[in-house]
Structures are given as structure tokens and as C-alpha cells.
Amino acid sequence: MNRLVRCPPFRVSECPNTLKRGHPPPRFDSRSQGAIPGSWRLPRHLPDHSTLEPPQRRSERRLPLLVLGLLLSAVTTLACRYNVRDVGFVDLETDSYHLYGFIRPETPADTVSLLRQLPATALRDCNVQVEIVNVDASTNHPALKHLSRGFADSLPTAVLVSPDGQALPLTLSRPGQSFQDSLASALGEVAASVKREEILRTVCQAFAGVLLIEGDRADENERARHVISRAIDAIGTQMRSMPKAIAEPPAMIVLDAAALLQERILLWSLGLAATRTALPRAVVLYGRARWIGPVMKGQEISEPNLTGLLSIIGADCECGLDVAWTLGTRLPVRWEEARHAQVARALAFDPESPLVKLEVSRIARRSTPPRAPSSSYQELGLSADRTPSAGCAPAVGSSNLKDGSGDTPPGGPAGEPMPLLGSASVLSRTLSSLAALAAISVSAGLFLFWRAGRRRPK
């Protein structure tokens, strides 16, 4: 005879899939597991739901992992994915050169047509914007201030204006050439040169480039070469510890004194004249042919000065750097699609992407706004007895000091190093980040205590 076992009252919530609404629970035999009316026991082949973890408890165990993930994501967002070199490849279209062609109402139509068509073709991939100005119809045009009296009497003519306000008149009428040939030669000189192409190839592949403009003194040229080589070797040993890996170390680019006239556009964009000097000069270039810091001359070409500027190029753009200063000034160069694709592959992001430009512009807006350019230019260099470190900029202001900038850098006169890593900015940003993380942690802890108190038996 089978012995029946009476079980506790059955709760529908404990095993919802075994019953149907309106039917009494069945009874089971303890040995044969047969259903006997009036009592029940779960068959052994069915799972015992009382030993499973409730869904609420499982969610509580996942909650700390979720909070930890939020904390890690918050820390990750504080880091910048770009260094200064990366930012130098992004074109924010705020540092373009302008080529103004000046005409009169009586200028022949074919000449005006050439002035409109040839520059658009020759300067298509360059950071040069072209505009035709009628001097009689546009008497209040801002570009007229760059038109000198001598050139105003020989229209049509053209003037190249740099982002810093420098003006370079271009000769469009050359002896023995037609107007079309003269215009094509002038535009070709503006678009590219042998040394600018070498600069582009170097800075696109290497960490940066140091342009050495040789002087007439051979001993000073040799000393500058050795100093630049030592600075390059010093940066090469530090590249592994920089926030972002860069394949090749900096490289030196030499401009011989005999080729100064062929590179007059390059020298003009650096604020220099195409004339021979006794002492050599040096400029640090990176990114999309941007130059950072001042033009160093003679004894100013020192290893501490060069390593200080080069180390800034490898720094994280979110570490308190004045990115507006580091952007420097671009040289007038031709940026072709093939070169852009090569750089995008090397950087692992597209510098022409609208999202990248938006992020870089956000970083630049946090920096000190650039000052208006000065009307006169003079060459200012680094003080020989004050050398920058990786955390300080050389003795320049928020923009490159060319042949002429008489402006005093913010925070002190020229010749005194201006700190580039703002300690107050870094401290405030660090404290704000820690406060945000602490608030997240406290909120998560209070939520856990509140959930535990709700389920505590009364």
C-alpha cells in the first residue's frame, strides 16, 4: 500500500508553469510519483525552483559590475585620443593664405578670365584662397590696404597675404613672357617648391622636421647640424614613453644658402627675407607643414631649445597644453588626396572627418584666443640663457613670432619662458574629475543600501 505524504500549501508563484488557473493542485505518491488527488509533491525529474537565485538577487550582483563599468568609462573619457602632432594634421580652415588679384573696369576681359581660371586650377589643393578685387568698384575692400602705390599703377597685379597679415606682391608681367605664362609661373611658385615638398614628405612620415637654413659661416652651420642631431637622438629615446606611439623620430631638413632665392615663398611664410645671413637659422615643423615656436638663430639653436619644442609635439593635447599656440602657422603647401590618404592610414583616423574637426575645434577653444597680428614684423628667437623644458614653451606668445612681431607675449615680456602646461588648469581639471568619480561612487553605494533595506525582512 502506498503511503501518502501531505505537503505544504502550494503557491502558484513558486511554479507557475505546472498549474493552470481554476485547477486544484494534484497529489503525488512519494515512491511511484503518481498523482493522487488531495496532495502533491514535485516529481524528481522537474527542477527545484527553491534552490535557484531570484532574479532580484542576480540583478543586485550585477549592479556593482555596472557601476565599475561606468567608472572605467568615465576615466576613459578623460583621456584624449590625440596628441599635438595629430592635431597638427587637422585643417580647421582658419589659417589660409589669400591671393588677391586686383583689376580695374578697363582690364581686358581675357585677362580677367585668366585671373579667375588659372589660380582656381593651380591652387586647387593648396591652403590658398583666391579673390578678384575691382579697385574702383570695391573701394572699401579690406585687401586694398595691401596694394602699394607702385603696384596700383600697374594693374592687373596680385598680392599674397599670410594668415599673420604679411603681404607679398607678385609679379604678373615678366619680360619676354606673355601674361598667361607669367601668371602660371607666379602661381606655380606659390603652390609648391622643392624644399616645401621635402618638408611635407618628412613631417607626414616622421615625428617632426627641423628645418636648418644655413648661413655663410661654415663653422656655425656645422655646430647647428650637430646640435640638431643630438636633439633628434634625445627625442628618439623618449618616444616610447610618449602618450601615443610614432613610427619614425624627427628628421633634419637642410636649406642651402645658395637656394634661398628659389625658396623665397617658404622664407617669406616664416617671416624671413630671401637674403644670405652669416648665422644659420632653424625652425621646427610638424603636422600639415605647421611651424611651432620662434625662428632660432645662431646660439639660440641649442639642444634644450629643440628638445623642448619637439617634446611638446608628442604631448597629449588634453594635458593642459595651450593648443592654440601649438597649432602655429601653416606653410603654403599643396595637400593632395594621395598624401591625405597616406596620413589617414598612419594616424588611424581621418583628419578631414567633420567629427574629428569638431573635437579638435573644441580642444582649441579651451585655449587662449590668438591675438590680432601686428602691422610690423621682426625676428624674435629664444633667449640663450633661458631654455624650455617639455612642460614649458619657449619665449614666444600664443602664435609664431616672425620677422616682426613686436607684441609682448601674455604673462611676460619676450625672452621669458611662458609655461605651456597650465598648472592651475590641470589641477582644476583633475579635481573636477575626481569629484565626478566620487559622486558616482557615493550614488552607487547609497543605491545599494537602499535596495538592501527594501528587501530586509520586517
Strand order in the sheet with 167-170: 128-134, 97-103, 157-161, 167-170
List the pLDDT tens digit at each of the 458 positions of the chain.
455 555 555 454 454 444 444 555 555 444 444 444 544 454 555 555 555 555 555 555 555 555 555 555 444 444 457 888 888 898 887 778 999 999 998 999 999 999 999 998 999 999 999 999 999 888 899 999 988 765 666 788 999 999 988 999 998 888 888 999 999 999 999 999 999 999 999 999 999 999 999 999 999 999 999 999 999 999 988 887 776 777 789 999 999 999 999 999 999 999 999 999 999 999 999 999 998 989 999 999 999 999 999 988 888 765 556 666 667 788 999 999 999 999 999 888 899 888 888 888 877 776 544 444 333 333 333 333 333 333 333 333 334 555 433 333 333 333 333 333 333 444 444 555 667 667 777 777 777 777 776 665 55
pLDDT at position 323: 61
pLDDT at position 53: 52
In this structure, is residue 252 part of a structural domain? yes
CB 209 within 8 A of CB 199: yes
On whether both 171 and 298 belong to a single domain, the answer is no
The half-sphere exposure of 90 on its side-chain side, counting CA atoms within 13 A, is 27
On whether both 281 and 361 belong to a single domain, the answer is yes
pLDDT at position 319: 55
pLDDT at position 390: 36
In this structure, is residue 86 part of a structural domain? no
Distance CA 355, CA 367 (A): 19
pLDDT at position 441: 73
Domain extent, residue 306, equals 206-422
CA torsion sign, 292 to 294 to 295 to 298? negative
Distance CA 351, CA 345 (A): 10
On whether both 240 and 333 belong to a single domain, the answer is yes
Which of 162, 191, 220 terminates a domain? The answer is 191
CB atoms within 10 A of CB 99: 26
Burial 258-280 (b: 16+ CB within 10 A, else e): ebbeebbbbbbbbbbeeeebebb
Sequence-distant (≥ 6) Cβ neighbours of residue 183 within 8 angstroms:
114, 115, 118, 172
DSSP for 361-398 reads HHHHHTSPPPPPPPSS-B-----TT----TTEE-S--S
On whether both 293 and 168 belong to a single domain, the answer is no
Which of 138, 163, 191 terminates a domain? The answer is 191
Residue 79 main-chain phi, psi, to 5 deg: -85, 145
DSSP for 105-147 reads TTS-HHHHHHHHHHHHHHTTTBSEEEEEEETTT-TT-GGGGG-
pLDDT at position 57: 55
On whether both 270 and 328 belong to a single domain, the answer is yes
Largest alpha-carbon pair distance within the chain?
129
Helices (H), 10-138: 55-78, 84-88, 109-122
In this structure, is residue 197 part of a structural domain? no
On whether both 256 and 370 belong to a single domain, the answer is yes
In this structure, is residue 88 part of a structural domain? no
pLDDT at position 280: 97
In this structure, is residue 201 part of a structural domain? no
On whether both 254 and 395 belong to a single domain, the answer is yes
On whether both 373 and 429 belong to a single domain, the answer is no
Q: The whole model's pTM is what?
A: 0.66
Cα torsion 140, 145, 150, 153 to 10°: value is: -10
Which of 165, 191, 217 terminates a domain? The answer is 191
In this structure, is residue 151 part of a structural domain? yes
Residue type (1 letter), 311: S
On whether both 294 and 402 belong to a single domain, the answer is yes
Indicate the pairing of strand 209-213 with strand 167-170: unpaired
The half-sphere exposure of 23 on its side-chain side, counting CA atoms within 13 A, is 10
Overall number of domains in the chain: 4
On whether both 119 and 148 belong to a single domain, the answer is yes
On whether both 380 and 245 belong to a single domain, the answer is yes
In this structure, is residue 200 part of a structural domain? no
In this structure, is residue 342 part of a structural domain? yes
**Can you read off the three cell numbers belonging to residue 50?**
527553491
On whether both 136 and 75 belong to a single domain, the answer is no
